[in-house]
Amino acid sequence: MEQYSLIDNIGILHTFDKVPQRIISLVPSQTELLVDLGLESKIVGITKFCIHPEKLITKKAIVGGTKKVDYNKIKALTPDIVICNKEENTLEIVENLRLICSVWVTDIVTIEDNLKMISDFGHLFDCTREAQQWNASLVFALSDFKQFIDRKPIRKVAYFIWKNPYMVAGSNNFINELLQLNRFENVFANLSRYPVIDLQEINTVDDLDLVLLSSEPYPFKEKEALEMTHFCSLSNIILVDGEMFSWHGSRLLKALDYFKKLHQNL
């Protein structure tokens, strides 16, 4: 294959003399995508949070988490490329890894960003047919879901991701994009990213329909749901699968089925 160049989501130009054969992924959702694109044999390193597909974590070298990695272990794996994400990984990690090999950084805020990432991976790893098939499946499923959701009422929601301090999803992130897809009006969309809030603020929201407590990164359980009733007794408090609302990549296909079931139970 001739030399080729591609630009990642943060505007960095990458030039390759050959298709990268040894991949390290520091993003759990993108690890799952790489496998779904047929690239499992090329993955040499992952994080301890790369739990999908099941048992992958027993087959690949664990190089750390998403915020802290073992640079010596990564270097010893002689990667051709490391896959990172602007939100998941730190700038320090990205800059240090660039001393070892190419570092491809994604930045996924919208569904269009997600489709482009899959297409980019197709070109990056010479699996364009697989990438096109995944995007075609996603576009079809999105069209189907939009028809399903079209007549559903708009509901005001608060989506919690953390406790002590309490943090919610604001705007400018993939969670907010998927909330909008579900006709959920994010009451904290006026705040950026993942703001810390006082639970008393919930009491000031008029007609709050739903409080969604995510399973990740903080694993909200029934205990927290019960505690939340003291602050929003008139709202429906629901424990939700955080992977379905925050993981991008191929996971979106499963998420759309999950969302249908969620609405059917509201």
Residues 156 and 234 in one domain: yes
- Helix (H) or strand (E) run with residue 118 in it: helix 111-124
Q: How far apart are CA 161 and CA 119, in angstroms?
A: 29
Q: How far apart are CA 137 and CA 260, in angstroms?
A: 17
Q: What is the pLDDT of residues 180-202, one digit of tens each?
A: 999 999 999 999 999 999 888 78
Q: How far apart are CA 238 and CA 175, in angstroms?
A: 16
Residues 29 and 114 in one domain: yes
Q: Is residue 27 part of a domain?
A: yes
Q: Which of residues 141, 160, 184 is at a domain's end?
A: 141
Residues 37 and 78 in one domain: yes
Residues 54 and 162 in one domain: no
* pLDDT for residue 96 is more than 70: yes
Residues 118 and 169 in one domain: no
- The 8-class DSSP code of residue 198 comes to -
Task: Show the DSSP H helices in 125-221 as ranges.
Answer: 128-149, 174-181
- Supply the pLDDT for residue 61: 97
Query: 254 by DSSP, 3-state: which?
Result: helix
Q: Which of residues 116, 141, 166 is at a domain's end?
A: 141
Q: What is the pLDDT of residues 114-126, one digit of tens each?
A: 999 999 999 999 9
- Supply the pLDDT for residue 1: 63
Q: Which of residues 141, 163, 180 is at a domain's end?
A: 141
Residues 136 and 15 in one domain: yes
Q: Is residue 146 part of a domain?
A: no
Residues 56 and 176 in one domain: no
Partner residues linked to 83 by β-bridges: 25, 104
- Supply the pLDDT for residue 206: 79
Q: Is residue 194 part of a domain?
A: yes
**What is the CATH number for 61?**
3.40.50.1980
Residues 256 and 163 in one domain: yes
Residues 132 and 193 in one domain: no
Q: What is the pLDDT of residues 165-177, one digit of tens each?
A: 999 999 999 999 9
Q: What is the pLDDT of residues 225-243, one digit of tens each?
A: 999 888 887 789 999 999 9
Residues 13 and 119 in one domain: yes
- Supply the pLDDT for residue 142: 98
CB of 18 within 8 A of CB of 126?
no
Residues 231 and 134 in one domain: no
Domains held by the chain: number: 2
Residues 160 and 130 in one domain: no
Range(s) of the domain holding residue 96: 4-141
